[in-house]
A and B are shown apart, each in its own frame.
Chain A
Amino acid sequence: DTEVTQTPKHLVMGMTNKKSLKCEQHMGHRAMYWYKQKAKKPPELMFVYSYEKLSINESVPSRFSPECPNSSLLNLHLHALQPEDSALYLCASSQARGGGNTEAFFGQGTRLTVV
């Protein structure tokens, strides 16, 4: 199984809503990532978790709050978002440093629209 599963596939939320994006993998990977991709742009790294600990936060606003409850799950909690936060949010996983070397696998993404 080389699949990274993201839910929901689509999400429309108001600027005052609180919602969460979910990501799951069962490949035994110990590094998980959130990327943001705006239309016609490349993915941009937001957060990196390594062995369930946040290791990189690319200066992301606090209205995005990541969580890694266990080695298979990654959440992104959203609160008080702005319309410019509308994008495709991608989750990825790979082996962590020292855990062997594999490619990074991406999920299909959550298409988020903030209204």
Chain B
Amino acid sequence: QQQVKQSPQSLIVQKGGISIINCAYENTAFDYFPWYQQFPGKGPALLIAIRPDVSEKKEGRFTISFNKSAKQFSLHIMDSQPGDSATYFCAASMWGSQGNLIFGKGTKLSVKP
């Protein structure tokens, strides 16, 4: 049973456009939702994370929107750049166990110049 569902599997965006990746979770015990960026041959790096007590969090060009009632959250990348081309994973865990992560299947983002 997949606990975190992520879509789309791949995404192509023009430079300067908005990239949107969506995730849904099932376990209501989850209360920490990070997004990781991974380049080929590298380990995942945390981009931004959110907890259910807020509906939106913004850091630079990256924004997480969170809908607790729908058990959904999404990543928006504004002004997408070719350097943003990577695989993005949403994840979920419980606060206090931030490293015990359930990952979505990932989205491969390609930003075309």
Contacts and interface: CB of A to CB of B under 8 A. Distances in A.
A90 B89 CA distance: 15
Contact of B99 (A31, A42, A108, A109): A31
Contact of A97 (B34, B96, B101, B105): B96
Interface in B87-109: 89, 95-106
Contact of A93 (B42, B99, B104): B99
Interface of B is mostly: loop
B113 interface: no
Interface residues of B, number: 22
Interface stretch (A59-67, A78-86, A98-106): A98-106
Nearest to B9: A40
Q: How large is the interface on A (under 10, 10 to 19, 20 to 34, 35 or more residues)?
A: 20 to 34
B98 A109 contact: no
Interface in B50-80: none
A4 B44 CA distance: 12
Interface in B14-56: 34, 36, 41-46, 49
14 contacts: A40-B106, A42-B104, A42-B106, A43-B101, A90-B44, A92-B99, A94-B98, A98-B96, A104-B34, A104-B99, A106-B43, A108-B41, A109-B41, A109-B42
